[in-house]
Amino acid sequence: MAAYKLVLIRHGESCWNQENRFCGWFDADLSDTGEHEAKRGGQALKDAGYEFDICYTSVLKRAIRTLWFVLDSIDQMWLPVHRTWRLNERHYGGLTGLNKAETAAIHGEAQVKIWRRSFDIPPPCMDEGHDFYQSISKDRRYSDLTEDQLPSCESLKDTIARALPFWNEEIVPQIKEGKRVLIAAHGNSLRGIVKHLEGMSEEAIMELNLPTGIPIVYELDKNLKPLGPMQFLGDEETVKKAMEAVAAQGKAKK
């Protein structure tokens, strides 16, 4: 029997996803599709009768709004919500705003491949001349971050390194107190939690793409070890598709 249940949800399509642009810390909003995905995710949790005690999300609107749609669907808008930059999406540095074609044109296909396949090589940094430097690095929401904390670019390793302290210091104690936790965040920050929970290798986590807008459920023992693989919530068709998509991603080795 599971001691604890944890639910994660990765936000759906953003306006920049539609344009195939590296989003990272740019505060893109959900597209109509993304809103629909969030509502559908909320409906899945409602149908399954989930109750939560506390919610966590990033400081980016695409994750926050996803959480809001979910809380509205399950009639638990009154739940406490903690927002943290540590659950933000990976910071794509100088690539922020570029689409796939532009990136390849500027940096060459080979370099892009290296970045894609590396766990610890960061993209080029976002410097003061970057289009989004002011709107991201100087944004009021990051005013409490120290110079060391505020990234100008991140590898996946960096993202995980700043997400896990929050998981360990803030979220884990709540779970151990018996609080039922819902985390609405991003592909890479959630990868950090999943990698940690399942003890996955760097290669394995890079191969894993979490489905969007679908509640991901972990049953955990009292030491917070998963009792089984992640479960997806939703109608049969949606869940089947999500499971197949995950299974088809590379050859994940633990």
Q: Which residues make up the interface to other proteins (CB under 8 A)?
A: 27, 51, 53, 59-61, 64-65, 68, 72, 75, 77-78, 80-83, 140-141
Residue 11 among known ligand-binding residues: yes
Query: 65 vs 195, which CB is nearer to other proteins?
Result: 65
* Three-state secondary structure call for residue 30: strand
Distance in Å, CB of 221 to other proteins, minimum: 26
Q: Which is nearer to other proteins, 46 or 82 (CB)?
A: 82
11 is catalytic: yes
Helix (H) / strand (E) element for 188: namely helix 187-198
Secondary structure element (H or E) that encloses residue 247, with its range: helix 236-247
- The 3-state DSSP class for residue 127 equals coil
Is 92 known to sit in a ligand binding site?
yes
Cβ proximity to other proteins, 5 vs 157, nearer residue? 5
Dihedral of the CA atoms 232, 238, 90, 58 (nearest 10)?
-70
Least distance between other proteins and beta carbon 54 (Å): 10
Active site residue 89: yes
**40 annotated as ligand-binding:** no
Sheet of 4-10, strand order: 81-83, 54-57, 181-185, 4-10, 216-220, 231-232
Q: Give the active site residue among 89, 130, 154, 186.
A: 89
Choose between 41 and 234: whose C-beta lies nearer to other proteins. Answer: 41
- Nearest 5°: the CA angle 207, 64, 210 is 15
Residue 16 labeled ligand binder = yes
Q: Is 220 exposed, middle or buried (0-12, 13-18, 19+ CB in 10 A)?
A: middle
Question: Least distance to other proteins from the beta carbon of 231, Å?
Answer: 24
Amino acid code (one letter) for 207? E
Q: Is 89 annotated as a binding residue?
A: yes
Residue 71: CB minimum distance to other proteins, A? 9
Structure tokens at 184: 């609405």
Cite the annotated binding site for substrate by residue number.
10-17, 62, 89-92, 100, 116-117, 187-188
Catalytic residue ranges: 11, 89
